[in-house]
Amino acid sequence: VQDSFGWFTDAYRRLIEWAAVIERLSGFQTALEQAEQKSPSLQSHQTDLPHHSGKVVLQNLTVYTQTGSPLLTDIHLQARSPEWVLLEGRSGIGKSTLLRVLAGLWPYYHGSFSLEGSRLFFPQRPYLPTDTLRQTVSYPYSACQDDHLIQTVLKQVGLNSPTGRLHTLMNDLDTSYEWHGILSGGEQQRLSLARALLHKPQILFLDEATNQLDDESALMLMQTLKQHLP
């Protein structure tokens, strides 16, 4: 009996930790529900058209901060492949936030947009899971089983340099590594863009996806994308 009642004293620290985890998860779930229940002033309509060709249409799109202050207002845009569109402006005006809206990650907007065709989004800091090279370059889709194709796209983005960290790992596609600790910022961005060459989407959204590279390397990478994704 004494041992049984003593469990509460012995496990008190663990109980507090569990309670804190549950409280954080509960707060996270509440925040998600609140984001889905947007205020009426920010309600909008999004259409996802059939995937026939690369086409982007924005109509009367206004992007807000979380507090409801406008960032970018009344945006109209029509673009289709093979067009390349540059969104340029001073830092902090909401360029990255606009891309988050189009990716479905930012619910604070008003207006409508449609994305017709398969698409991939490439942020400044790419997501590289602690996983195999096969899974990492195939993200966010299922793992590509064509070893030659994976090695080809890695070479196309310049990751086959004898001095690069990835050169010795290109033939080892099925061993997990912590890529953020192995690759430099520029190499991480090259690996991320290899996904575009592997999956060949009809629409690419690039949010300064080469800002860790020198100008010459960035230009060569853009030319490679244009050449292989016409």
pTM of the model: 0.72
Indicate whether 54 and 152 sit together in one domain: no
- The amino acid occupying position 211 is N
Task: For residues 194 and 164, give the distance between their C-alpha atoms in angstroms, rounded to a whole number.
Answer: 15
- pLDDT tens-place string over residues 190-208: 999 999 999 999 999 999 9
Task: For residues 208 and 186, give the distance between their C-alpha atoms in angstroms, rounded to a whole number.
Answer: 12
**Total number of domains in the chain:** 3
From 33-47, 107-121, 150-164, 177-191, the region with the lowest mean pLDDT: 33-47
Alpha-carbon separation of residue 93 from 15, 70, 121 (angstroms) = 45, 10, 19
Indicate whether 66 and 130 sit together in one domain: no
Indicate whether 135 and 214 sit together in one domain: yes
Task: Say what the pLDDT of residue 49 is.
Answer: 40
Indicate whether 210 and 159 sit together in one domain: yes
119: tokens are 């698409």
69: tokens are 């202050």
Indicate whether 16 and 109 sit together in one domain: no
Indicate whether 177 and 202 sit together in one domain: yes
- pLDDT tens-place string over residues 63-102: 999 888 999 999 999 999 889 999 999 988 999 999 999 9
Indicate whether 162 and 72 sit together in one domain: no
Indicate whether 47 and 100 sit together in one domain: yes
Residue 193 near residue 225, CB atoms below 8 Å: yes
Indicate whether 45 and 62 sit together in one domain: yes
Indicate whether 133 and 222 sit together in one domain: yes
Indicate whether 107 and 153 sit together in one domain: no
Domain of 25?
Answer: 2-36
Last residue in a domain, options 83, 117, 151: 117
Task: For residues 93 and 98, give the distance between their C-alpha atoms in angstroms, rounded to a whole number.
Answer: 10
